[in-house]
Amino acid sequence: MIHKLSDVQSKNIGKDTNIWQFCVVLPDAKIGENCNICANVFIENDVVIGNNVTIKCGVQLWNGVTVEDNVFIGPNVTFTNDLYPRSKQYPEKFAKTIIKQGASIGANATILGGITIGENAMIGAGSVVTKDVPADEVWFGNPARFVRKISKNC
């Protein structure tokens, strides 16, 4: 289902994916199956989103972001792709950010460009992630720091 008030230019949208109102999806973006893209999400061209992904309201996914399967991205999470931004000055290539399978990112977290968040990792709400996060770890704070390993229950 693609809401009539969204601007979805990509034809690369998987089966059973919902894209809600006021979203913009550029032509070369790839979105997998059974995803839920909530209102007011912007997805740029060089973005790949896996299957069973939830992206809550107010998120922008810029060129260079890859989101693997079963990822949760909370409301207003901010991604960056240029570590030294200047108006009308663009890098030769944008930083590549990878959110690995099963990771969860809490509301209002900021993810700097070029970061990899490991499988099943959890990022606390409001955190600023400035370096790679290993698999199966909880990180939060500004800058985000290791808090604990994830057990089977959480």
DSSP labels, 51-113: SS-EE-TT-EE-TTEEE-TT-EE-TT-EE---SS-BTTB--SSPPPEEE-TT-EE-TT-EE-T
The structure's pTM equals: 0.94
Look up residue 109 and give its two tokens.
């977290």
pLDDT digits (tens, 9 = 90+) for 54-71: 999 999 999 999 999 999
pLDDT of residue 88: 93
Query: What is the span of the domain harbouring residue 50?
Result: 1-154
pLDDT above 80: residue 126: yes
Domains contained in the chain, number = 1
Q: What is the pLDDT of residue 151?
A: 78
Residue-wise pLDDT tens digits, 107-121:
999 999 999 999 999
**pLDDT tier, 153 (very low <50, low <70, confident <90, very high otherwise):** low
- Report whether pLDDT(6) > 90: yes
- Predicted pLDDT at 154: 62
Give 105's contacts (C-beta < 8 A, 6+ positions apart). Answer: 71, 72, 73, 74, 77, 99, 111, 117, 122, 123
Q: What is the mean pLDDT of residues 19-40?
A: 98
**CATH code of 139's domain:** 2.160.10.10
